[in-house]
Amino acid sequence: MAENGRRFSGRTALITGAGGNIGLATALRLGQEGAALALVDISGEKLSEAQKACALTGARTEVYECNVADRHAVAEAVDRIASDFGTVDLLFNNAGFQGAFKPIHEYPEDDFESVLRINTFGAFYMLRAVSRRMVSQRYGRIVNTASMAGVQGPPNMAAYGTSKFAVVGLTQVASKDLAPYNIRVNAISPAFMGPGYMWDRQVELQAKARTQYFSSDPEAVARQMIGSVPMRRYGDITEIPGVVSFLMSDDSSYLTGVNVPISGGIL
């Protein structure tokens, strides 16, 4: 039983995309629940800000600047983290990028490759490097950030949708491969989350795409998106960490290979 409700006391959590809204919010939650934190992001400036915020939880917090699309950089970062902390018990495999908003016949090839490099290859590189450590210790809890874009293919998001479908599939395969080693692998699929940069960006760019699915007016696009959600609101970033924490805890001890929609009722 965790002391004083701190379910992750004695555990080390590695969070990628830790400088972004979802990554930081989840790092704060895991730190509050007792985990030591290894924060990974491509932006050193964002990492510095995240470290200061996480330090307020009292958790040990170290930062590692790393491009997850570079397999060599990922391997080096994971080796450093394992050396610094002695173990990697929890992985929030969260780094990602939305990419362009264009219909498929206009979608830029370079962007397609870039998004898959970050969202799919990066998720694989990190999962592979960390799971090797977890296999040797016969313990691990992994949560991959997928998306409802990987459940229902969205218009104008060929790269992002494809990359997140792949993350869902990767989660299912990895859950079977790693189950014999007491390692559980699950995914979350947020839908429309806001407010903030990601919400504003997708509203603006879907409007600019000028397709039949959305208005060319960003305010109208926002109303259309919210209107598609049964709960008639977008999700708050703070509604994600509790789900991740649950999937990493013993409260979900018989769950693996599951993709949990955080979607306000979109299925």
* Whole-angstrom distance, CA of residue 109 vs CA of residue 251: 43
* Superfamily of domain covering 9-190+240-261: NAD(P)-binding Rossmann-like Domain (3.40.50.720)
Q: What is the DSSP letter of 42?
A: S
Average confidence score pLDDT of the chain: 97
- Percent of the chain past pLDDT 90, that is, above it, reads 97
Residue 94: its pLDDT value, please? 98
What residue ranges in 112-212 does DSSP mark as E strands?
140-145, 183-190, 193-194
pTM of the model: 0.96
pLDDT at position 41 over 60? yes
Cα 155 from Cα 91, distance rounded (Å): 30
Q: Is the pLDDT of residue 134 over 60?
A: yes
Three-class secondary structure of residue 25 per DSSP: helix
Model confidence at 1: pLDDT above 50: no
The verdict on whether 160 is a catalytic residue reads yes
pLDDT above 70 (res 156): yes
User: Where along the chain do its domains lie?
Assistant: 9-190+240-261, 194-236
**How many percent of the chain have pLDDT more than 70?**
98
Which of the two residues, 5 and 232, has the higher pLDDT score? 232
Best CA proximity match to 89, nearest among 50, 25, 167, 34: 34
- pLDDT of residue 205 exceeding 80, the answer is yes
Report, as an integer, the average pLDDT of 148-177. Answer: 98
Catalytic residue among 160, 181, 213, 254: 160
